Amino acid sequence: MTKILQRNLYREVADRIGDLIEHGELLPGERISEKQLCDRFGVSRTPLREALKVLATEGLIELLPNRGARVVRLTLKNVKDTYDLMAALEGLSGELACQYISDAEIAAIRQLHDTMLEHYRNRDLMPYFQVNRQIHESILAASNNDVLQEMYSNLSQRVKRVRYSKQMTERYWSQAVKDHENMMAALEKRDSQSLGQILRDHLCNKIEVATLAGVIDTEDDKSVANS
Amino acid sequence: MTKILQRNLYREVADRIGDLIEHGELLPGERISEKQLCDRFGVSRTPLREALKVLATEGLIELLPNRGARVVRLTLKNVKDTYDLMAALEGLSGELACQYISDAEIAAIRQLHDTMLEHYRNRDLMPYFQVNRQIHESILAASNNDVLQEMYSNLSQRVKRVRYSKQMTERYWSQAVKDHENMMAALEKRDSQSLGQILRDHLCNKIEVATLAGVIDTEDDKSVANS
DNA sequence: CTAAAGAATATTGAATTCATAATCTATTTT
DNA sequence: AAAATAGATTATGAATTCAATATTCTTTAG
C-alpha cells in the first residue's frame, strides 16, 4: 500500500505529534509547549498551531483558551466509552462485510485466520496480535463503508497509547480464539446477523480495559485545575 | 449580521462556515475563497485557515494542496454510508440508555412521545419532526457515553444540509410512529436488546435517503477534475 | 518568614508579511 | 483561427511580527 505523500505541513506535524503521544513521549495531562515543538520539528508556529487544532478535533489533545494545549487524560470511563463504540462499529462492519465481501477476500481472511491459529498454538503473542489486527482490518475494509472506516480509525487512534499494557490470560485468549472460529464460520456463510453479533460481543477489547485501570488517568506532576 | 468578537476565534469561524454550508450559501463542490470569507467575517487569514483545517477534519470540506478548499460533495453512497453508521450508533445509544436511564428521564421521553403522537394525529409535520428529534437526542443523552454523542453529532452535521428535502409519505409516516411505539415500550421495560434493534432498524433516515437521490451530488458549474 | 502586589518575562492569539505555486491574459507561432 | 507559451496576476503556504493574556520573579508589607 503506497502512502499518499502529504504535501501539507500541518498534517505531517499533526501525525508526528500523534506519534509522540502514542509512544508516551508526551504524557497525559502534559502541557504542550508550542515553542518546544517548533524547535523540534523545525517549523514555525503557524503550521504547528494548525496541527494542534486538528489534533484537538480528533480528540487527542485539548485546547484551553489562552493557556495552550495539553494531552488528553484518558479516564477509565473515557476508554470504556470508546471501546463500547468501537465494538458497535465492528459489529456494523461485520454485517456490511457479509453483504459485500468477495469469495477471494473471504479466502484471504481464512488464510490469516489459520496463520493466527498457528501463532496461538505456538503462544507467539506479538505475531498473534499482528495477524488478529489484520483480520479485523480486512473485515472493516470489506464493509465498503468509507465513513465507518474513517470513524473507526479515529477512535483507534485515541486509545492506541494504552494498548501496550495488555497481559493476555490463557482463559481469555482461548475464548478470543473461539470467537474468531465463530466469526470465520459466520463470514463464510455470509451470515451478517451472526457476524455482527459476534463482533459486538467479542471481548478482547474489554479485556484490555479490565487490565488497564492502573495505566490510564495517572496523576502526573502537572496540575489540572479546571472546571 | 453580527461581527465576531469572541475568544476561540477559529471555533467561531468554523461554526459560521458550517452554518453557511448547512443553509446552502456555500454549495457542494464550490471553491471556498479565503479572502472572501475573511472580509465577510472580519478576521484575518490565520484563524480562518485554522477553521478550514478543522472543518476538513470534521468532514465538511476538503483541502486540495495549493488549490484551496471546497465544500464536500455528498454522493448518494456517502450519505447512505453515513446513515448506516448513524443507525448503528442509535442502536448502541438505545442499548446503553436502557442500562443507565432514570425513571424521571423515561417519564420525560414518554411525555415527548405523547406530544409527538398528537402532532402526528394533526399531521403537523414540522412540530412532529422537532419532537421526534428531541426523543432521539434524549435517548442519546441517556446513553451516558460522551464519545458516542460526539461522534453522532459530527455525523449529523455532515448530512444536515440534505435534511430539508424530505416528503414523508403517509405509509412511511405511520410506520415510523409504530416504530416509536415499540421504542417506547422497550424503553419502559428497559429491554436494551429490543430497543437497540428497533433503533437500528428504524427507517426514517433511510426514507430520507430514498427520496434524496435528486438533491445530492448535483453537478455544479464548478469543475472537479480530481482522482 | 510568609504573603500579597507589582514588575518582568514568557506564552498564546491574531494580523501581517514574504515566498511559492496556480491561474489568467495576452502575445506569438503554426 | 487555434494552440502554445511567457508574463502578469491572484491565491495559497508558511514565517514573522504585533498585541493580549498568563506566568514567574522580585519586592515589600505584615
Instruction: Give the CATH number for residue A13.
Output: 1.10.10.10
Look at chain A and count its residues: 227
Residue A219 lies in a domain: no
Inside any domain, residue A137: yes
Tell me: do B111 and B147 sit in the same domain.
yes
Show which residues sit with Cβ under 7 A of nucleic chain C: A 31-35, 45-46, 49, 63, 65-69; B 7-10, 43-47, 65-67
What pLDDT score does A4 carry?
43
DSSP secondary structure letter of residue A8: -
Cell 479516564 belongs to residue: A75
Which ipTM did the prediction report?
Answer: 0.89
On the question of pLDDT at A222 being above 60, the answer is: no
Last residue of a domain, one of A71, A97, A112: A71
At which of A51, A71, A91 does a domain end? A71
Per-residue pLDDT at A221: 37
CA distance A115 to A131: 7
B216 is a domain residue:
no
Report pLDDT digits (tens) over A24-71. Answer: 999 999 999 999 999 999 999 999 999 999 999 999 999 999 999 999
The 10s digit of each residue's pLDDT in B156-176 is: 999 988 865 556 778 888 888
Range of the domain at A159: 76-210
B191 interfaces chain A, CB cutoff of 8 Å:
no
Look at residue B88 and tell me if it is in a domain.
Answer: yes
In a domain, B219, yes or no: no
Nearest nt to the CA of B66 via C1' is D12
Q: Which of B44, B63, B81 to mutate to test the interface with A (most CBs of A within 10 A)?
A: B81
Query: Torsion angle, CA of A155/A161/A162/A163, rounded to 10 degrees?
Result: 80
Q: Does residue B111 form part of some domain? A: yes
Q: Decide if B17 is inside a domain.
A: yes
Give start and end residues of each alpha helix (H) in A101-124.
103-122
The verdict on B16 and B124 lying in the same domain is no
In the listed set A71, A99, A115, which residue is the last one of a domain according to the structure?
A: A71
Asked if residues A218 and A28 have their Cβ atoms less than 8 Å apart, the reply is: yes
Of B54, B59, B85, the CB nearest to A145: B85
Confidence of residue A213 (pLDDT cuts 50, 70, 90): low
A199 shares a domain with A107: yes
Q: Are residues A172 and A65 part of one domain?
A: no
Query: Which three three-digit cell numbers place residue B124?
Result: 403537523
Nucleotides of D under 7 A from a protein CB: 11-17, 21-23
Residue B117 lies in a domain: yes
CA-CA distance, B172 to A43, in Å (whole number)? 56
Grid cell locating B159: 448530512
Same domain, A196 and A109: yes
Question: If you measure CA to CA, which chain B residue comes closest to A63?
Answer: B8
**B65 with B156, same domain?**
no
Per residue in B81-108, pLDDT (tens digit) is: 999 999 999 999 999 999 999 999 999 9
Mutate to test the interface with A, among B7, B15, B55, B57 (most CBs of A within 10 A): B57
E strand or H helix that includes residue B144: none
Cell numbers placing A189:
456463510
A102: phi then psi, degrees, rounded to nearest 5 = -95, 165
Give the total number of structural domains in chain B. Answer: 2
Q: Distance between CA B191 and CA B98 in Å, rounded?
A: 6
Inter-axis angle of helices B170-188 and B125-142, nearest 10? 30
Q: What is the mean pLDDT of residues A214-219?
A: 54
The reply to whether B65 and B85 lie within a common domain is: no
Contact between chains at A53 and B50 (C-beta distance less than 8 A):
yes
CATH number, domain containing residue A100: 1.20.120.530
The answer to whether residues B89 and B185 belong to one domain is: yes
Minimum distance, in Å, between the CA of residue B151 and any CA atom of chain A? 8
- B135 plus B83 within the same structural domain: yes
A93 shares a domain with A47: no
CA of A221 to C1' of C11 (A): 20
CB-CB neighbours of B180 under 10 Å: 21
Asked if A41 and A153 sit in the same domain, the reply is no
Q: Nearest by CB to A148, from B81, B146, B148: name it.
A: B81
In this structure, are A56 and A39 located in the same domain? yes
Q: Which three cell numbers stand for residue B77?
A: 453512497
Q: Do A8 and B65 touch (CB under 8 A)?
A: yes
* Contact status of A7 with chain B (Cβ, < 8 Å): yes
